[in-house]
Structure 1
Amino acid sequence: MARYTGPKTKIARKFGEAIFGEDKSFEKRNYPPGQHGNNRRRGKKSEYAIQLAEKQKAKYTYGILERQFRNLYDKANRAPGITGEVLLQLCEGRLDNVVYRMGISSSRRGARQLVSHRHITVNGELVNIPSYAVKPGDVIAVREKSKSLTAISDSLQNASHVYEWITWNNDKKEGTYVSVPQRLQIPENINEQFIVELYSK
């Protein structure tokens, strides 16, 4: 299963924000990586460099590699609506992301692992594909045998975010993907228009 396994803090420092979630190392060194850090002279970035950086940020944020991300873009491009907005909605609708948003895991990487290790069900059926596209009305739940997992309990206890497009029942440890989120409801700091411009070239 292909996924990014390299250093996370280095990538977060490159983009100047903790895109992988809470990161104590990033907070300590909140400046670009490399030998000279803040002192390095950086010329004005080209339009292409800005667009490429935005695409890479989106890929790292959602834990998607290039081919999968390109396929999502092609799908968004064919769909009705604003391409950039649809692209982010498709990323948000991935099962690993929905598990993360529900608070079952404290990170997308952890959510991906929970799905892969068969701890999550969709409408009562076990699904172990992190990229599975969740549809409005789908019920995502923790498998009965996995409800006692410490990692899941700890994450749910510390979960504080509430999203309008998701409902969660802590007693049953299940939630519903109520609707596709609108762009204003997606909290990620991504300029999707740059990604569209990059792929449109």
Structure 2
Amino acid sequence: MARNIGAACRRCRRENLKLYLKGERCYSDKCAFERRAFGPGQHGQARFKKQSDYAIQLREKQKVKSMYGMLESQFRLTFEKADRQKGVTGENLLILLERRLDNAIFRIGYASSRNQARQMVRHNHILVNGKKVNIPSFLVSPGDVVSLKEKSRSNAVINENLEAVVRRGVPSWLELDKDNYKATVKAQPNREELTMPIQEQLIVELYSK
């Protein structure tokens, strides 16, 4: 499985935004972004007067890629799929990203970060409609039931994550049954519920060049 193994906290500092890539650490005083809210590297604290349109578009794309833990080829294929669909391409892109199984696991609260969710999927902890799915990019659909394998329900880390889900909340397109370790996909993800500052139109403009 291809993945980004670079320092997560540097990515938050580079984008000047907390991307919540390290789970519970991001909510604590150990968060590197809280302690050093400036760019990484020798010139991280320098302020540049102006960025080109291309640089702004590129940074927006890199930010969303980092947020969802994807590589360029994966992200580009998702964009091309969104572009082929009816409707607004930018919104289609974000909905496809939200529908990824690893993101759904994170949103439900089984995992404290998308990276941890990806590991859970790869390590066969997750069932979709009662069947094992170990592909993080699998797209969930309305009516799907995402649950934990019986053996995984006693996992201490997963139970700690479920206890902490109150802080984040579960989006309205998902319904969590915490006692039975399952969640139902009630509807398509809603663009209005994505509270992170994302300007998807900049990504569309970048790929349209």
Query: TM-score, structure 1 length as denominator?
Result: 0.96
Instruction: Quote how far apart the aligned CAs of 1:26 are.
Output: 1.4
Q: What is the aligned partner in structure 2 of residue 134 from structure 1? A: 140
Matched, 1:30 2:37: yes
Change (3 A) 1:5 1:144: same
Cα deviation per residue 1:136-172 (whole Å; 9 max; x = unaligned)?
1100001111000111001001112131100000111
Paired residue for 2:4? 4
Separation in 1, partners of 2:107, 2:76: 23
- Give distance in 1, aligned partners of 2:47 and 2:127: 50
8 A contact 2:3–2:70 mirrored in 1 = yes
| Structure 2: unaligned runs, 5 residues or longer | none
- Report the secondary structure of 1:104's partner residue: coil
| Cα distance in structure 1, aligned partners of 2:70 and 2:60 | 14
Q: Which residue of 2 aligns with 1:158?
A: 164
Cα distance in 2 for partners of 1:103, 1:83 equals 28
Q: Is the 8 A contact 2:170 2:176 kept in 1?
A: no
Identity %: 48
Which residue is equivalent to 1:187? 195
Residue equivalent to 2:184 = 176
What secondary structure does 1:115 align onto?
A: helix
In structure 1, C-alpha distance between the alignment counterparts of 2:195 and 2:124, rounded to whole Å: 28
SS of residue paired to 2:147: strand
- 2:59 partner amino acid: A
Question: What secondary structure is seen at the aligned counterpart in 1 of 2:187?
Answer: coil
Alpha carbons 2:65, 2:71 under 8 Å: kept: yes
User: Which deviations, in whole Å up to 9, do the C-alpha atoms of 1:34-92 show, x marking residues without a partner?
Assistant: 22432x24131000000000000010000111111111111100101100000000000
Between the aligned partners of 2:63 and 2:130, the Cα distance in structure 1 is: 34
User: Shift of residue 176 of structure 1?
Assistant: 0.7
1:77-156 equivalent positions in 2, closer than 5 A: 77-156=83-162
Asked if structure 1 preserves the Cα contact closer than 8 Å seen for 2:109 and 2:170, the reply is no
The CA RMSD measured in Å over matched residues stands at 1.1
2:87 aligns to what SS in structure 1? coil
* Structure 1: stretches of 5+ with no match in the other structure: none
Task: Report the alpha carbon displacement of residue 33 of structure 1 after superposing the two structures with TM.
Answer: 1.4
Distance in 1 between residues matched to 2:87 and 2:155, nearest whole Å: 40
Distance 2:176 2:49 in 1: 47
Number of residue pairs matched by the alignment: 200
Q: Partner of 2:139: helix, strand, or coil? A: coil
**Distance in 2 between residues matched to 1:41 and 1:144, nearest whole Å:** 52
- 1:182 Cα shift? 2.0
Match of 1:167 among 172, 175, 179: 175
Q: TM-score, normalised by structure 2?
A: 0.93
Residue in structure 2 matched with residue 46 of structure 1 by the alignment: 52
